[in-house]
Amino acid sequence: MKFEALTIKDIAKALGLSTSTVSRALRDSYEISPETKKLVLEYAQKNNYHPNPIALSLKERRSRSIGVVVAEIANSFFSQSINGIESIAYNNGYNVIISQSRESFDRELINLQYLTSRSIDGLIISVSTETNDFSYLKELHEKGMPIVFFDRIVDEIETHKVIVDNYKGAYEATSHLIKNGYRHIASVANAAYLSIAKERLGGYRAALADHGLEVPEAMIKYCHHGGMILSEVEEGVNELLHADQKPDAIFATSDKLTTGCLRILKARKINVPKEMGLVGFSNTDLTELLDPPLTIIKQPAFEMGELATNLLLQLIESKRPVKDFETKTLATELIVRGSTVAKNKFKSLA
Amino acid sequence: MKFEALTIKDIAKALGLSTSTVSRALRDSYEISPETKKLVLEYAQKNNYHPNPIALSLKERRSRSIGVVVAEIANSFFSQSINGIESIAYNNGYNVIISQSRESFDRELINLQYLTSRSIDGLIISVSTETNDFSYLKELHEKGMPIVFFDRIVDEIETHKVIVDNYKGAYEATSHLIKNGYRHIASVANAAYLSIAKERLGGYRAALADHGLEVPEAMIKYCHHGGMILSEVEEGVNELLHADQKPDAIFATSDKLTTGCLRILKARKINVPKEMGLVGFSNTDLTELLDPPLTIIKQPAFEMGELATNLLLQLIESKRPVKDFETKTLATELIVRGSTVAKNKFKSLA
DNA sequence: TTTATTTACGCAATCGTTCCCGGTAACGAT
DNA sequence: ATCGTTACCGGGAACGATTGCGTAAATAAA
């Protein structure tokens, strides 16, 4: 059971040296003679010595681990982001502790407390769709915890942030719908206070306005659980379908909402794209195999994860408090597929 | 930057007590008077004291963290399993360090070494599709590291294991194909030495044999990267399509392979299910929205993760070396959808 | 030869916590 | 008055590693 590891003390005893000498020999200090070094190094090698990371952490007052909080890992965008995060973290000798908020503020708070109690060196977070109270994060930040936000950021907290150009992505997607003949474009969105919702709806509204279409505020359905609960999406779509002016297309602001809409529409036997166009943010690599293949706005999730981690490590390893924070904005990609191209119905209108 | 936490020493100094007394008061020891306890507890509460987990780990020689190795987290089966793992681990005060092999033996080895160097208390692993050298795992196991295998297990190492009845799942799926009129059933499988491949192909072969069909060994295509590289699947499917006896259905043995086959077949404009039936193991919740909706064999991933973690914690926290190991086998679920039902073509034949 | 300098190593403190030893009162029993 | 208990608390070692400082011996400079 015990799994007794070799310690520096064991080596010292075996070789008749002091622990300090062994430690210094292993770190290749100049004060140790080449012969002693060789002796120690060979012994360590042969007996497979590895420094105890916990003892090191205690001594150096750092755990070499970073905390990550996302909505859920079973979500392509986040799992891809995590891939990026891990690749950088591991290369720098950090390990990653992942936790999921499942779009719940309470769970996010619990996870945050858990992570900090595990003494992480830094935090990468994309807040839950429910989160509009940032006091805990603020407190953490003020206490000196290095934090990097990505995707769903918090404007009020000044630190590094990594996002995509949500406004532009949404603008392009909405414009695309309009160009394809759709005129009554609804939106199924996350909670209104969420950064991505604000930005994406901003692009959506601007595109409509720029094309001379009115912005139908009643046609924006907010899902406070971000699609985690399908019934919420169902309700939203239902209301849209029974509105006075039934929409002919939907713009969904996140992965779960996009596929959620498709699910509901198919259950209602509503033809996409003929009766209803559908475009949304998504990173699922199955979207092209769906029926119909989905037009999506894709985020460079992996790169975002990499970038966020690099920024975080920079923060962690900086000697003096960082004051100069930056917000990195990457580009989205609009991938046009069948769900927004209703040739027969709209070709003449366009 | 520093994030100075309150220590037991600080409390001792502030209250004019010794560290031992404070420690004991916090742990509610009988040797401390109620008044002192109250004093300490209140001070700790008010100043938000939290024991330093790293110091505890060093003292107790346990990190309260467990390592998890899977092929990739951006895979529904694994992300669902991880959800199960985390739910149990967190409830027991353990944190989870996840790493991905990406179906590569080398990466798996590196991750394993990394995890053990981070002094994890135990390991939950589903080996990569490339792994057929278990010496490192064996060594780890012999040194006393608690290990639980799930999904892709290693027969030669005696410890707890959590799997599904792969044989039965494959048998049912294949039988289902036969019942629906398919007669020339090929298989796209993982590497032959992988436990799940062996078991699933076993069920596949048995079903064919039991229905008086010959087992076409040439029609089993092995993908050593488990679908991580699409070209590999493409090659396999290609060979099947150009075989003397072209198959009329494919049984795929894992998530990536199942969707990979669909991807290739669609690219080749082969009609599923009419020209080619398709069934496979998968846990993606998008399968019903695919074109065509996929018939799948689903695993209780979340439960498997929960179970594996409970077994691991049992192993970790057991006082004496455990000798009685068990293999838990859960049931799969066959979900029939459009990809295996070619009414027009086969109804008459069946 | 004496002194200064270098070389090579050990001692002990430190990180935060627990816990094995003690130790000191107070009190009752002898 | 002496002893044994009990209740309560502190000292200090330990967990594994690093590191400032001290110091012996060896060498160089005077």
DSSP for A127-170? --TT----HHHHHHHHTT--EEEESS--TTS-SEEEEE-HHHHH
- CB of B1 within 8 Å of any CB in chain A? yes
Any idea which nucleotide's C1' is nearest the CA of B15? D9
Q: How far is B14 from chain A (nearest CA, A)?
A: 21
Residue of chain A whose alpha carbon sits nearest to that of B266: A289
Indicate yes or no: CB of A74 within 8 angstroms of CB of B97: no
For the CA of B193 and the C1' of D13, the distance in angstroms is 53
Report the distance separating Cα B290 and Cα A287, nearest Å: 8
Model confidence pLDDT, tens digit, residues A131-190: 999 999 999 999 899 999 999 999 999 999 999 999 999 999 999 999 999 999 999 999
Query: Rounded to 5 degrees, what are φ and ψ at A252?
Result: -105, 140
Report the distance separating Cα B32 and Cα B54, nearest Å: 26
Indicate yes or no: CB of B90 within 8 angstroms of CB of A263: no
Nucleotides of strand D under 7 angstroms from a protein beta carbon: 7-21
- Predicted confidence at residue B3, as pLDDT, reads 59
For the CA of B60 and the C1' of C20, the distance in angstroms is 15
CA dihedral B168, B173, B179, B183 (to 10 degrees): -110
Strand-pairing partners, residue B298, are B333
Q: How far is CA B70 from the centre of its chain?
A: 6
Helix (H, G, I), strand (E, B) or coil at B183: coil
Kindly list the residues from chain A whose CB atom is less than 8 angstroms away from the CB atom of residue B259. 286, 289
C-alpha Rg value of chain B to the nearest Å:
26
- Predicted confidence at residue B5, as pLDDT, reads 81
- Predicted confidence at residue B117, as pLDDT, reads 85
Distances (CA, A) of A326 to A89, A146, A308, B85, B204: 20, 14, 11, 36, 56
Query: Rounded to 5 degrees, what are φ and ψ at B306?
Result: -60, -50
Residues of A (127-156) whose Cβ lies below 8 Å from B: 143-146
Closest alpha carbon to A132 in A112, A104, A159:
A104
B329 pLDDT more than 50: yes
Q: Which residue is nearest to nucleotide D12 (CA to C1')?
A: B20
Report the distance separating Cα A234 and Cα B242, nearest Å: 45
**Residue whose pair of structure tokens reads 């839950």 in the numeric block:** A128
A1 pLDDT more than 80: no
Helix (H) or strand (E) segment spanning residue A48: none
Model confidence pLDDT, tens digit, residues A135-147: 999 999 998 999 9
Any idea which nucleotide's C1' is nearest the CA of B20? D10
Check: CB of residue A32 under 8 Å from CB of residue A25: yes
Any idea which nucleotide's C1' is nearest the CA of B61? D15
- CB of A268 within 8 Å of any CB in chain B? no
Q: How far is A7 from chain B (nearest CA, A)?
A: 12
Closest alpha carbon to A292 in A322, A270, A308, A324:
A270
Cite residues whose beta carbon is less than 7 Å from strand C. Answer: A 16-21, 31-36, 55, 58-59, 61; B 5, 7-9, 19-20, 23-24, 26-27, 50-52, 55-56, 58-59
Give the confidence band of A322 by pLDDT, cuts at 50, 70, 90: confident
For a pLDDT cut of 90, what percent of chain A falls above it?
88
B349 pLDDT more than 50: no
Report the distance separating Cα B342 and Cα B22, nearest Å: 74
Model confidence pLDDT, tens digit, residues A237-292: 999 999 989 999 999 999 999 999 999 999 999 999 999 999 999 999 999 999 99
Number of neighbouring beta carbons within 10 Å of residue B142? 9
- Predicted confidence at residue A101, as pLDDT, reads 95
A344 pLDDT more than 70: no
B248 pLDDT more than 70: yes
Kindly list the residues from chain A whose CB atom is less than 8 angstroms away from the CB atom of residue B99. 86, 90
B265 pLDDT more than 70: yes
DSSP state string for A61-122: T--SEEEEEES-SSSHHHHHHHHHHHHHHHHTT-EEEEEE-TT-HHHHHHHHHHHHHTT-SE
Report the distance separating Cα B89 and Cα B340, nearest Å: 39
| pTM, to two decimals | 0.91
Size of interface A-B (CB pairs under 8 A): 117
Distances (CA, A) of B306 to A317, B78, B79, B328, B331: 37, 12, 12, 12, 15
For the CA of A307 and the C1' of D10, the distance in angstroms is 52
- Predicted confidence at residue A3, as pLDDT, reads 60
Number of neighbouring beta carbons within 10 Å of residue B26? 17
Give the confidence band of A323 by pLDDT, cuts at 50, 70, 90: confident
In eight-state DSSP terms, residue A206 is H
A347 pLDDT more than 60: no
Nearest to B144 among A1, A52, A58 (CB): A1
For the CA of A33 and the C1' of D22, the distance in angstroms is 19
Kindly list the residues from chain B whose CB atom is less than 8 angstroms away from the CB atom of residue A83. 72-74, 100
**Residue whose pair of structure tokens reads 């003449």 in the numeric block:** A348
Q: Do strands A122-125 and A65-70 pair parallel, antiparallel, or not at all (unpaired)?
A: parallel
What the block records as the tokens of A36 is 């002693």
Report the distance separating Cα A208 and Cα A216, nearest Å: 9
Length of chain B: 350
Indicate yes or no: CB of B100 within 8 angstroms of CB of A119: no
Length of chain A: 350
For the CA of B35 and the C1' of C16, the distance in angstroms is 25
Helix (H) or strand (E) segment spanning residue B287: none
A304-318, B226-240, B330-344: lowest mean pLDDT where?
A: B330-344
Nearest to B1 among A3, A90, A321 (CB): A321
- CB of B317 within 8 Å of any CB in chain A? no
For the CA of B113 and the C1' of D6, the distance in angstroms is 53
- Predicted confidence at residue B337, as pLDDT, reads 96
**Residue whose pair of structure tokens reads 């989205």 in the numeric block:** A332
Helix (H, G, I), strand (E, B) or coil at B8: helix
Q: Which residue is nearest to nucleotide C15 (CA to C1')?
A: A59
Report the distance separating Cα A187 and Cα A216, nearest Å: 9
DSSP state string for A279-345: EEE---TTGGGBSSPPEEEE--HHHHHHHHHHHHHHHHH-SS------EEEEPPEEE--GGG--HHH
Residues of B (46-105) whose Cβ lies below 8 Å from A: 50, 52-55, 57-58, 61, 63, 72-74, 76, 79-80, 82-83, 86, 90, 95-100
Model confidence pLDDT, tens digit, residues B68-127: 999 999 999 999 999 999 999 999 999 899 999 999 999 999 999 989 888 899 999 999
